[in-house]
Structure 1
Amino acid sequence: MEKGNLLLIISLFLNALLIGTGGYVVHKIGGVEFVKTKIQSTPPVKRDAAYYFTKKSVFEHSAASDVDIAFIGDSITDYGEFQEYFPDDVVLNRGIRNDVAKGVLDRLQEVVDRDPKVAYLMIGVNDIRYGTDAKDYESSVNAIVESFAGKETKLFIQSILPVNNGIFGNEVSNKKVKQFNDILKRIADENEIEYIDLHPSFTDKSGQLDKKFTVDGLHLNGKGYDVWVERLRTK
């Protein structure tokens, strides 16, 4: 038997073995329908699914009550030590890194049920990063707003922060940030919710996130959180 034919036979055998093994594994864990269900139930985040579900579970089992302030968002919220800025209040940090608007919606009920006096929403930069359609983003944010309907909570919608492309790269364009912020502003106006435009406090002369407020071009450093919280104190 020629060497080429032998290699072909070995290759075909190995492929058949892999296909057979894969089919057996799928069958053992519940079949194709089970796999489809698991894929469909994956949270709308591109990375850190384990972190998303872990944080969601921790949030839902929290015994927090008489909540004064809730911060809701992605990693920019997640990294903030807001309780230290408001030591006399009960503060919830409901940020999850890499989260998107649909992800917030899927875990929001435990926040709504705690009836915080004030809630600050900042979400959207990851929707831009991961290519969420603008209409889907708008639908999710509208649903977030509707979740607070009839509650005493005063909801604030905050703008998405600018990005410094010279540091972070071009994964997020500030032109797209403006487009999504226009959506947020429209939703706020339509629902008579106050919109907090943070851009003037964080942009440099070229419209980028000012280097003095960031290390990686996307997230805020300590000085950035000082400025953010000071803006909120004026509301």
Structure 2
Amino acid sequence: MKKYKILLMISLVLNILLIGSGSYVVNKIGGIDFGKTKVQATSSPKKDANYYFTKKSIFEQSTIQQPDKVFIGDSITDYGEFQEYFSGEVVLNRGIRNDTAEGVLNRVDEVVERNSAEAYLMIGVNDIRHDTDIQDFRKNVTAIVDAFEGTSTKLFLQSILPVNNGLFGNDVSNEKVKEFNDVLQKIAYENGIKYIDLHAHFEDESGQLDKRYTVDGLHLNGEGYTLWIETLNAT
């Protein structure tokens, strides 16, 4: 019995030490609220849930109506300073890094209600990165297109850009990009809307994203955004 009591006391002491060290770690990294946030983020289908919902809430507070142009997409759109390319026009950026077609669908009503003259959608590279089934991608993009039906907004579907695997790695294959672009082109055709093939303007002779237009192999640099806008202006 005495031996049992000693073992019990040792167990209690160890548990107290473990609880104490755990509390110390939680406090060091931001407390209980931080822990809750991290759990919510990892259980979300979004890779970057906090950023997504923060940007979404900011967009929803905007009072701008009937802008000239709105750009919708993921980080490639998010990083673009589109307003600077169209002086004298009201241009909105509705890009959110790490977003997917499903993520855009879940926030597209805010864009539709602005009644913009033109809307430019580029989405899909993160669907490829996250292994989204291509039929689910088709369904989500089609639903985004349907959301604009009956409005005066002229919607443009833009192709997914090529990736430079030598710089970015192999999370995205350019063969897959072409498959998803075929889907986008078919959706555009079926709905009578304009498909803009940016892909052809950005690939090098080997089918990779040209190094002139990127630093990391996925996102665009300044020259890349200039080419993007020049291509849009030429369509």
Distance, in Å, in 1 between the alignment partners of 2:175 and 2:79 is 25
Amino acid at match of 1:132: T
The secondary structure found in structure 2 opposite 1:212 is helix
Alignment map for 1:204-219 (pairs within 5 Å)? 204-219=204-219
User: Hey, what does 1:99 align to over in structure 2?
Assistant: 99
1:182 aligns with 2:179: no
1:66-98 Cα offsets, whole Å, 9 max, x none, are 311000000000000000001211101000000
User: Hey, what does 1:111 align to over in structure 2?
Assistant: 111
The secondary structure found in structure 1 opposite 2:106 is helix
Q: 1:211 to 1:72 in 2, by over 3 A?
A: same
Contact 1:43-1:103 within 8 A present in 2 as well? no
User: Hey, what does 1:225 align to over in structure 2?
Assistant: 225
Distance, in Å, in 2 between the alignment partners of 1:160 and 1:199 is 6
Amino acid at match of 1:227: L
Distance, in Å, in 2 between the alignment partners of 1:162 and 1:51 is 25
1:13-63 Cα offsets, whole Å, 9 max, x none, are 95xx98xxxxxxxxxxxxxxxx9xx979x653223x111001000000001
Contact 1:44-1:102 within 8 A present in 2 as well? no
Alignment map for 1:70-219 (pairs within 5 Å)? 70-219=70-219
Distance, in Å, in 2 between the alignment partners of 1:125 and 1:46 is 13
Show structure 2 runs of 5+ residues with no match. Answer: 20-35
1:130-162 Cα offsets, whole Å, 9 max, x none, are 111111111100000000000010000000000
Distance, in Å, in 2 between the alignment partners of 1:150 and 1:207 is 38
Contact 1:157-1:194 within 8 A present in 2 as well? yes
Q: Identity over aligned residues, as a percent?
A: 63
User: Hey, what does 2:32 align to over in structure 1?
Assistant: none
Distance, in Å, in 2 between the alignment partners of 1:215 and 1:39 is 32
Distance, in Å, in 1 between the alignment partners of 2:64 and 2:55 is 15
Distance, in Å, in 2 between the alignment partners of 1:179 and 1:200 is 14
Amino acid at match of 1:46: K
Distance, in Å, in 1 between the alignment partners of 2:188 and 2:152 is 17
Distance, in Å, in 2 between the alignment partners of 1:66 and 1:137 is 29
Distance, in Å, in 2 between the alignment partners of 1:216 and 1:190 is 35
Contact 1:44-1:100 within 8 A present in 2 as well? no
Distance, in Å, in 2 between the alignment partners of 1:54 and 1:218 is 24
User: Hey, what does 2:45 align to over in structure 1?
Assistant: 44
User: Hey, what does 2:60 align to over in structure 1?
Assistant: 60
Q: 1:150 to 1:43 in 2, by over 3 A?
A: farther
Distance, in Å, in 1 between the alignment partners of 2:104 and 2:125 is 13
Distance, in Å, in 2 between the alignment partners of 1:76 and 1:123 is 9
- Normalised to the residue count of structure 1, the TM-score between the two structures is 0.83
Cα RMSD, aligned residues only? 2.7
Q: 1:69 to 1:216 in 2, by over 3 A?
A: same
